[in-house]
């Protein structure tokens, strides 16, 4: 008896869409994934309105998302144990003998490819495979990187439709020429709730050689959305040989009512350290909230463009008082995906939102009730600490008019933010570019729920990028130093810490960051003087008093100033000791970096000798 002919999962109309790109390598990639993963059906999406509607409709129809009460809103639940990036199983594939240095989870390339291919054998059986096209960076920009996404998750495709610019037209325009990134994702076998159930086989492998990422048996968007953090690693590696950088930074336009100008800043903050809330301050505009391309301009300045067009933001703590712009967007009709929040009667609830929380509902653990515990006896919170929202920046009232400008926006300043209780002052300006690189490279921040592991532990996170580095740290820092040295008008570099505490109480109000930004803006334009200290330039009380009055209509007392800007000499020197141990163990860290460390250490020790141990009032340096 003759075996039945197996139906080709790729219909002729979809093959035609691939042929129109005139890109044999791209077509070969799609064919290879089909042979390996064996999907039942393949759909090629060009980003037209009908395709966008199809993706969202299927995400809802298949239960990957559920509609909420407000039109356009939907909710997605990741598995209970799939709530953050799995760093242990996220690996950079390297050739034999290639070293990435400490802190980077590297793995032999041939072994890694063999392992991932074995795990992917037939992983899409019975599923529909989606072939999607996007652009990292603005369309028709020197920053643009065309990207191919292959996935069996309509939720992933829906997220990417919100987060990234459609790229089918760019692939078609290039007519088979030029490089591109590609990403292959599968949620894998699903349980009765539609969640990935093979978490023991969860993998995210980054193949730098072929500019591709394999990520499987996961749904959390930070891992499953290929163009998010997986693409970030590819971009960092590629930028090392180019004249631009790819950074874990927001881009925001800062306005002051008394000034007829906009000053653009980028900022790098570890997760839950104030990054999105800084980018979304009322009265300012947002270009991007997470990833930035930064390159030199013909005017001698640095210019920045948003890698994305949307926001995948942490929703915890967003409320009507502290975040009025986001609150308005999150509570009115528009296309938004909520993830891992509590839902009751079609209404989403999250931590510290300012509303009474129901005693029952549905969340990432399934049906939920107050006091519910997991299999290990731990109480399950009603909303995951890493619950998120996904939306287009264009939905925001404060979206910057230059958000999609191919040239990007000119940078006045770069902010490095950390999260510690008793070391860093709320804001300072680096003494020069090299010192700014040192400030960014020595960030320590308390760990949060965005990665799997213990929370509240002080962790070194240079430039808020250590989890995503795909080049040795020494090479990355050398590129930073060279980038600034090549600019005639480099951005000023600042460092912030919104989480300073005294006896458990925060010394900064949530809205104070607007004052710190206004101070930085004034420094960029040489309008404010500052006090030189061993760790950098800090504000004068008289300037902050005026800025607090103008920005918040708040009296800023000298006592508050002294508490916040006291230099905790012993704690600062302890940090330098930790940094010495970290960076001396790294390969090829630039000498210019160590010169800044040695200078800061020398000046702090001199201040301790002159004025005594412990803490020093900022007035000592005035």
DSSP letters along 527-577, please? -S--EEETTEEE--HHHHHHHHHHHH-----HHHHHHHH-EEHHHHHHHHH
Count of domains in the chain? 3
List the Cα angle 404/18/177 in 5-degree steps: 60
Average pLDDT of the segment spanning 261-285:
89
Q: In this prediction, what percent of the chain has a pLDDT beyond 90? A: 87
pLDDT tens by residue, 99-126: 887 778 999 999 999 999 999 999 999 9
Query: Does 269 reside within a domain?
Result: yes
Residues 235, 263 share a domain:
no
Picking from 332, 366, 395, the residue at the C-terminal end of a domain is: 395
Residue-wise DSSP of 178-209: S--EEEEEE--SB-TTS-B--GGG-EEEEETT
Check whether 555 has a pLDDT greater than 70: yes
Pairing of strands 409-418, 263-268: parallel
Average pLDDT of the segment spanning 400-427:
96
Contacts of 82 (CB under 8 A, 6+ apart): 195, 196, 199, 202, 218, 219, 220
| Consecutive H or E run containing 413 | strand 409-418
Query: Does 599 reside within a domain?
Result: yes
Q: How confident is the model at residue 36 (pLDDT cuts 50, 70, 90)?
A: very high
Picking from 204, 239, 274, the residue at the C-terminal end of a domain is: 239
pTM of this structure: 0.93
Check whether 232 has a pLDDT greater than 80: yes
Residues 357, 285 share a domain:
no
Nearest to 500 by CA among 518, 513, 491: 513
Query: Does 1 reside within a domain?
Result: no
Average pLDDT of the segment spanning 343-364:
97
Check whether 455 has a pLDDT greater than 80: no
Beta bridge partners of 128: 41
CATH code, domain with 101:
3.40.449.10
Average pLDDT of the segment spanning 351-355:
96
Query: Does 72 reside within a domain?
Result: no
Helix (H) and strand (E) counts in the chain = 17, 35
141: annotated active-site residue: no
Query: Does 570 reside within a domain?
Result: yes
Residues 416, 268 share a domain:
yes
Picking from 180, 208, 239, the residue at the C-terminal end of a domain is: 239
Rounded Cα distance, 593 and 598, in Å = 9
Range(s) of the domain holding residue 182: 12-64+85-239
Residues 103, 31 share a domain:
yes
pLDDT given for residue 454 in this prediction: 55
Check whether 381 has a pLDDT greater than 80: yes
Rounded Cα distance, 580 and 90, in Å = 27
Residues 333, 464 share a domain:
no
pLDDT given for residue 1 in this prediction: 44
Query: Does 77 reside within a domain?
Result: no
User: CB–CB of 425/535 below 8 Å?
Assistant: yes
Catalytic residue among 147, 273, 339, 445: 273
User: CB–CB of 252/286 below 8 Å?
Assistant: yes
Rounded Cα distance, 232 and 242, in Å = 15
Residues 235, 138 share a domain:
yes
Query: Does 479 reside within a domain?
Result: yes
Least confident of 67-71, 173-177, 306-310, 455-459: 455-459
pLDDT given for residue 612 in this prediction: 78
Residues 370, 284 share a domain:
no
Residues 52, 193 share a domain:
yes
Residues 341, 430 share a domain:
no
pLDDT tens by residue, 586-618: 989 999 999 999 999 999 999 999 887 789 999
Mean pLDDT of the chain: 94
Residues 145, 60 share a domain:
yes
Rounded Cα distance, 519 and 530, in Å = 10
Check whether 170 has a pLDDT greater than 50: yes
Residues 410, 480 share a domain:
yes
Q: How confident is the model at residue 276 (pLDDT cuts 50, 70, 90)?
A: confident
User: CB–CB of 439/462 below 8 Å?
Assistant: no
User: CB–CB of 513/277 below 8 Å?
Assistant: yes
Residues 268, 324 share a domain:
no
pLDDT given for residue 458 in this prediction: 82
Query: Does 175 reside within a domain?
Result: yes
pLDDT given for residue 274 in this prediction: 81
CATH code, domain with 590:
3.90.228.20
For the record, the structure tokens of 406 come out as 């191919």
Least confident of 51-60, 77-86, 534-543: 77-86
């Amino acid at each position: 008896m003759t075996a039945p002919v197996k139906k080709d999962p790729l219909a002729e109309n979809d093959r035609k869409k691939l042929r129109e790109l005139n890109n044999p390598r791209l077509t070969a990639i799609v064919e290879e994934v089909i042979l390996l993963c064996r999907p039942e059906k393949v759909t090629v999406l060009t980003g037209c309105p009908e395709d966008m509607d199809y993706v969202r409709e299927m995400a809802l129809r298949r239960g990957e998302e559920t509609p909420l009460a407000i039109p356009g809103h939907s909710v997605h639940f990741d598995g209970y144990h799939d709530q953050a990036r799995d760093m242990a199983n996220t690996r950079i594939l390297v050739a034999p003998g290639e070293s990435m240095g400490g802190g980077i989870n590297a793995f032999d390339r041939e072994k890694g490819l063999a392992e991932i291919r074995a795990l992917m054998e037939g992983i899409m059986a019975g599923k529909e495979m989606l072939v999607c096209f996007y652009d990292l960076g603005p369309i028709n920009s020197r920053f643009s990187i065309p990207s191919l996404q292959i996935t069996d998750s309509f939720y992933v495709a829906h997220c990417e439709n919100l987060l990234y610019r459609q790229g089918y037209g760019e692939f078609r325009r290039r007519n088979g020429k030029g490089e591109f990134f590609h990403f292959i994702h599968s949620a894998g076998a699903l349980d009765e709730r539609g969640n990935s159930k093979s978490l023991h086989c969860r993998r995210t492998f980054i193949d730098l050689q072929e500019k591709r990422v394999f990520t499987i048996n996961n749904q959390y968007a930070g891992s499953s959305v290929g163009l998010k953090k997986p693409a970030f690693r590819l971009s960092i590696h590629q930028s090392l040989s180019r004249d631009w950088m790819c950074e874990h930074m927001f881009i925001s336009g800062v306005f002051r009512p008394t000034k007829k100008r906009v000053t653009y800043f980028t900022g790098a903050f570890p997760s839950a350290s104030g990054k999105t809330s800084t980018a979304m301050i009322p009265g300012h505009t947002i270009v991007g909230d997470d990833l930035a391309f930064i390159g030199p301009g013909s005017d001698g300045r640095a210019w920045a463009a948003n890698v994305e067009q949307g926001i995948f933001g942490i929703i915890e703590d967003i409320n009507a008082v502290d975040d009025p712009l986001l609150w308005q967007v999150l509570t009115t009709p528009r296309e938004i995906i909520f993830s891992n929040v509590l839902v009751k009667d079609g209404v989403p609830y999250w931590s510290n939102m300012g509303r009474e929380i129901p005693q029952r509902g549905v969340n990432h653990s399934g049906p939920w009730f107050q006091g519910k515990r997991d299999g290990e006896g731990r109480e399950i919170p009603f909303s995951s600490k890493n619950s998120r929202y996904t939306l287009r920046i264009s939905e925001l009232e404060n979206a910057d008019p230059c958000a999609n400008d191919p040239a990007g926006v000119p940078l006045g300043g770069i902010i490095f933010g950390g999260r510690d209780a008793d070391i860093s002052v709320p804001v300072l300006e680096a003494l020069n570019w090299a010192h700014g690189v040192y400030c960014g490279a020595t960030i320590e921040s308390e760990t949060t729920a965005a990665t799997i592991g213990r929370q509240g532990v002080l962790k070194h996170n240079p430039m808020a990028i250590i989890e995503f580095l795909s080049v040795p740290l020494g090479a990355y820092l050398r590129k930073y130093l060279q980038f600034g040295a090549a600019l005639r008008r480099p951005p000023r570099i600042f460092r912030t810490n919104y989480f300073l505490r005294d006896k458990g109480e925060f010394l900064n109000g949530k809205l104070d960051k607007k004052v710190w930004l206004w101070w930085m803006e004034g420094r960029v334009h040489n309008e404010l003087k500052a006090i030189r200290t061993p760790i950098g330039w800090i504000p004068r009380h008289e300037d902050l008093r005026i800025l607090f009055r103008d920005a918040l209509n708040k009296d800023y007392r000298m006592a508050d100033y002294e508490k916040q800007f006291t230099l905790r000499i012993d704690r600062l020197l302890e940090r330098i000791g930790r940094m010495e141990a970290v960076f001396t163990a790294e390969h090829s860290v630039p000498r210019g970096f160590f010169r800044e460390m040695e200078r800061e250490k020398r000046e702090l020790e001199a201040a301790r000798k002159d004025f005594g141990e412990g803490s020093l009032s900022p007035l000592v340096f005035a």
